[in-house]
Structure 1
Amino acid sequence: MRNELLSPAEMANADRLAIAAGPLDGYGLMRRAGEAVAAVVLARYPASARVDVMCGPGNNGGDGYVVARLLAEAGVSVALWVTSEPRAGSDAALAAAECRIERRPLSAFQAEPGSLVVDALYGAGLSKPISGDAAKAVQAVTELDLPVVAVDLPSGVSGDGGEVLGSAFRAILTVTFARKKPGHLLLPGRERCGQIVLADIGIRDEIIDELAPQAFENRPGLWIANFPVPAVDAHKYKRGHTSVFSGGPSATGAARLSALAAARSGAGAVTVLSPANAMQVNAAHLTSIMLRKVDAIEDVHDVIADRRPSTFVLGPGFGIGDKARDFTLAVLAGKRQDGGVEGLVLDADGITSFRNAATTLFEAAGRPDAPALVMTPHEGEFGRLFADIAGDKALSKLAKARAAAERSNAVIVYKGADSVIASPDGRAAVNSNGAPWLATAGSGDVLAGSIAGLLAQGMPAFEAACAGVWIHAEAGSRFGPGLIAEDLPLAMVPVLRQLMESTVR
Structure 2
Amino acid sequence: MNPRTRTLLLTPQEMAAADAAAARSGIDSSGLMERAGQAVAAAALRLYPLTLRYVVLCGPGNNGGDGYVAARALASAGAVVELFALGDPDELKGDARAAFDACPIPSRSVSQLTPKPGDAVIDAVFGAGLARTVPEELRQVIASVEAASVPVLAVDLPSGICGRRGIPLGAAFRASHTVTFMARKPGHLLMPGRSLCGDIEVVDIGIPWRIVEGCAGSVAANDPVLWRESLPSPDSASHKYRRGHLAVFSGGASHTGAARLSAAAGLAAGAGLVTVASPADAMPVNSGHLTAVMLREVEDLASMRAWLANAKLSAFVLGPGFGVGEKARDFVLGMEGRPLVLDADGITSFRDHRDRLFQAYAADEARLVLTPHDGEFGRLFPELAETGEMSKVEKTVAAARLAHAVVVYKGADTVIAAPDGRALINENAPPWLATAGSGDVLAGVIGALLANGLPAFEAAAAAVYLHGEAAARAGEGLTAETLVRHIRPLGRNGSVFHHRL
Same fold (TM over 0.5): yes
CA distance in 1, matches of 2:244, 2:484: 18
Query: How far apart are residue 112 of structure 1 and its match?
Result: 1.9
Correspondence list, 1:57-136, <5 A:
57-83=60-86, 84-85=88-89, 87=91, 89-136=93-140
Provide the residue aligned with 1:475 in structure 2.
470
Provide the residue aligned with 2:495 in structure 1.
498
Match of 1:41 among 41, 44, 57: 44
Query: How far apart are residue 132 of structure 1 and its match?
Result: 2.9
Q: Taking structure 1 as the reference length, what is the TM-score of the superposition?
A: 0.95
Q: Which amino acid aligns with 2:313?
A: P
Q: Taking structure 2 as the reference length, what is the TM-score of the superposition?
A: 0.95
CA distance in 1, matches of 2:236, 2:161: 50
- Contact 2:247 2:316 (8 Å CA) reproduced: yes
CA distance in 1, matches of 2:459, 2:277: 22
Query: How far apart are residue 107 of structure 1 and its match?
Result: 2.3
Query: How far apart are residue 76 of structure 1 and its match?
Result: 0.5
Secondary structure of 1:174's match?
strand
Secondary structure of 2:21's match?
helix
CA distance in 2, matches of 1:401, 1:465: 13
Provide the residue aligned with 1:368 in structure 2.
364
CA distance in 2, matches of 1:419, 1:154: 21
Query: How far apart are residue 322 of structure 1 and its match?
Result: 0.6
Provide the residue aligned with 1:148 in structure 2.
152
Query: How far apart are residue 415 of structure 1 and its match?
Result: 0.7
| Residues 1:319 and 2:323 aligned together | yes
CA distance in 2, matches of 1:52, 1:161: 28
Query: How far apart are residue 44 of structure 1 and its match?
Result: 1.6
Output one character per residue of 1:313-341: Cα deviation in whole Å (capped at 9) or x when no partner: 0000101111100111111x14xxxxxx4
Correspondence list, 1:206-221, <5 A:
206-221=210-225
Correspondence list, 1:282-321, <5 A:
282-321=286-325
Secondary structure of 2:98's match?
helix
CA distance in 2, matches of 1:16, 1:303: 60
| Residues 1:201 and 2:198 aligned together | no
Secondary structure of 2:496's match?
helix
- Contact 1:348 1:377 (8 Å CA) reproduced: yes
- Contact 2:231 2:490 (8 Å CA) reproduced: no
| Residues 1:412 and 2:393 aligned together | no
Query: How far apart are residue 241 of structure 1 and its match?
Result: 1.1
Provide the residue aligned with 1:449 in structure 2.
444
Query: How far apart are residue 232 of structure 1 and its match?
Result: 2.1
Query: How far apart are residue 501 of structure 1 and its match?
Result: 5.6
Secondary structure of 1:493's match?
coil
Pick closer, same or farther for the CA change 1:256–1:26 going to 2, 3 Å: same
CA distance in 2, matches of 1:418, 1:108: 37
Match of 2:59 among 56, 59, 68: 56
Match of 2:142 among 138, 141, 145: 138
Correspondence list, 1:454-469, <5 A:
454-469=449-464
Correspondence list, 1:148-297, <5 A:
148-297=152-301
- Contact 1:49 1:77 (8 Å CA) reproduced: yes
Query: How far apart are residue 500 of structure 1 and its match?
Result: 6.9
Secondary structure of 2:299's match?
coil
Secondary structure of 2:19's match?
helix
Taking only aligned residues, the RMSD between alpha carbons, in angstroms, comes to: 1.7
Output one character per residue of 1:272-293: Cα deviation in whole Å (capped at 9) or x when no partner: 1111221121111111111111
User: Which ranges of 4 or more aligned residues in structure 1 deviate by more than 3 Å?
Assistant: 86-89, 494-497, 499-503
- Contact 1:241 1:267 (8 Å CA) reproduced: yes
Query: How far apart are residue 86 of structure 1 and its match?
Result: 6.0
- Contact 1:52 1:81 (8 Å CA) reproduced: yes
Query: How far apart are residue 384 of structure 1 and its match?
Result: 0.7
Output one character per residue of 1:324-372: Cα deviation in whole Å (capped at 9) or x when no partner: 00111111x14xxxxxx4x100000000000000111111111336x60
Match of 1:344 among 340, 344, 349: 340
Tell which deviates more after alignment, 298-307 or 171-180.
Answer: 298-307
- Contact 1:417 1:434 (8 Å CA) reproduced: yes
- Contact 1:69 1:99 (8 Å CA) reproduced: yes
Provide the residue aligned with 1:337 in structure 2.
none
CA distance in 1, matches of 2:122, 2:169: 19
Secondary structure of 1:244's match?
strand
**Which runs of 5 or more structure 2 residues have no equivalent in the other structure?**
none
Tell which deviates more after alignment, 235-244 or 196-205.
Answer: 196-205
CA distance in 2, matches of 1:363, 1:191: 39
CA distance in 2, matches of 1:495, 1:485: 19
CA distance in 2, matches of 1:499, 1:312: 25
- Contact 2:179 2:202 (8 Å CA) reproduced: yes
Output one character per residue of 1:384-428: Cα deviation in whole Å (capped at 9) or x when no partner: 111111111222212211111111111111111111111111111
- Contact 1:4 1:214 (8 Å CA) reproduced: no
CA distance in 2, matches of 1:406, 1:93: 45
- Contact 1:4 1:213 (8 Å CA) reproduced: no
Query: How far apart are residue 139 of structure 1 and its match?
Result: 1.3
Query: How far apart are residue 133 of structure 1 and its match?
Result: 2.1
| Residues 1:402 and 2:397 aligned together | yes
| Residues 1:354 and 2:358 aligned together | no
- Contact 1:475 1:495 (8 Å CA) reproduced: no
Provide the residue aligned with 1:31 in structure 2.
34
Q: Which amino acid aligns with 2:488?
A: V
CA distance in 1, matches of 2:499, 2:181: 28
Alignment size in residue pairs: 494
Tell which deviates more after alignment, 308-317 or 200-209.
Answer: 200-209
Q: Which amino acid aligns with 1:76?
A: A
Output one character per residue of 1:21-44: Cα deviation in whole Å (capped at 9) or x when no partner: 24x311111111111111111112
